[in-house]
Amino acid sequence: MESLSLYIDSFYIREIGYFIGTFLFLWGFYLMIKTEKSQEHTRDRDVINLLPESTQCTNPDCVRCSLYAKVILEATCRLKTVCENGNQSEIAIAEKITHYLKNTSLSKESFQRPNVFYLNVLQSRPLWECMDCLSGLESEFNIIKNEFKIVYEKNIDRWRNNDTSHGKWSIFSLINQGRTLSENIALCPDTFKIVSSLPNLMQKNVFGNVAFSVVEPGTHIFPHYGPTNIRLRCHLGLITPKKCYMKVAEETVTWEDGKCLVFDDSYLHSVEHAGTGEDGIRAILMIDLWHPDIVEEERQILDMAFALE
């Protein structure tokens, strides 16, 4: 009986040991999976935090935030018409655009994430050297700045406030998503004439904008992405306090009076004016330009595909 009792005791000890060992193994495995999931969640959260409401405006007419699905659908239909009725060259371009309109190879963690149209055959970098064609724009700095002062000081009712997390960001548009605003242009005709002379000006599709942009002290414009990489955005500095800067991808830049800053706004970018009332506003003239890799015939097809109406 004693030997039987010892056998039973040893059996239970082995079983308990096996149970404890299995439990510890499974617990360790659970902790490992939990840690990996937590790290994955953290990475996803870091990316997602760059995107949701912090990057979406409330304007119902915004191509990037509200109308992107409509824009893509209409572009697809227009390109289909070109493929059915165009010449050989037009068909080839339309087919290429349609392909990239339906397919994207962008990583969810990429610094470049346009949400409407990404043409991934283009050269890509956050910041660009100032193009030769912009030297004329810089030479007309005083004319443009004087007209800005007039519309800023005397036509406040024509300015539109953009969404920001903190502070105030105001826009006075001459071209808004491909729509020419004649009443605003009449208040600064010389500026519009100068801008219209730029050979790479984008103005006949929903991605094209020209506007005065003012950021007041204490303003933070959350990180956000532009809708497409077929354009480059130019900022001509008009009033540029030292405590105001922009971050594009991982690079931080500042503006300079009378100088152009060119960047690809399909990259994640944000603006902060860390100054006080004594530092004053930051004011720039914003101009959208065609990406230099896109040739004239391609521009015509893109204008047609992404036309305002």
Q: For 204-224, how does the pLDDT look when each residue is reduced to its tens digit (9 = 90+)?
A: 999 999 999 999 999 999 999
**166 — pLDDT class (breaks 50, 70, 90):** confident
Q: At a CB cut-off of 8 Å and minimum separation 6, what does 190 contact?
A: 140, 143, 144, 147
Q: Please state, in angstroms and rounded to a whole number, the distance separating the CA atoms of residues 43 and 54.
A: 17
**72 — pLDDT class (breaks 50, 70, 90):** confident
Per-residue model confidence (pLDDT) at position 204 = 96
Closest CA to 291 of 112, 128, 111: 128
> Which tokens hold the place of 275?
């100054």
Q: Rounded to 5 degrees, what are φ and ψ at 240?
A: -130, 85
Per-residue model confidence (pLDDT) at position 102 = 79
Residue 23 CA from chain centroid, whole number: 50
Average pLDDT for 268-273: 96
Could you tell me where the DSSP H helices lie in the chain?
2-48, 52-55, 68-85, 88-102, 135-139, 141-154, 182-185, 189-196, 296-305
Average pLDDT for 17-46: 49
Helix axes 68-85, 88-102, angle to 10 degrees: 150
Per-residue model confidence (pLDDT) at position 234 = 98
Long-range contacts of 149-157 (CB under 8 A, 24+ apart): 150/187, 150/188, 151/184, 151/187, 151/188, 151/212, 152/212, 152/214, 152/283, 155/187
pLDDT greater than 70 at residue 264: yes
SS3 state of residue 270: strand
CATH value of 127-296 in 3.40.630.30, 2.40.30.10, 3.90.1150.10, 2.60.120.330? 2.60.120.330
Q: Count Cβ atoms within 10 A of the Cβ of residue 254 and give its class: 0-12 exposed, 13-18 middle, 19 or more buried.
A: middle
Per-residue model confidence (pLDDT) at position 18 = 57
Per-residue model confidence (pLDDT) at position 9 = 56
Per-residue model confidence (pLDDT) at position 11 = 52
For the entire predicted model, the pTM comes to: 0.80
Mean pLDDT estimate for the chain: 85
**184 — pLDDT class (breaks 50, 70, 90):** very high
pLDDT greater than 80 at residue 62: no
Per-residue model confidence (pLDDT) at position 286 = 99
Per-residue model confidence (pLDDT) at position 45 = 36
SS3 state of residue 105: coil
Distances (CA, A) of 56 to 28, 62, 67, 243: 42, 9, 12, 25
The percentage of residues in the chain with a pLDDT greater than 90, rounded to a whole number, is 66
Q: Please state, in angstroms and rounded to a whole number, the distance separating the CA atoms of residues 11 and 92.
A: 78
Per-residue model confidence (pLDDT) at position 16 = 63
Q: Find out whether 232 and 262 touch, Cβ atoms under 8 Å.
A: yes
Average pLDDT for 85-90: 95
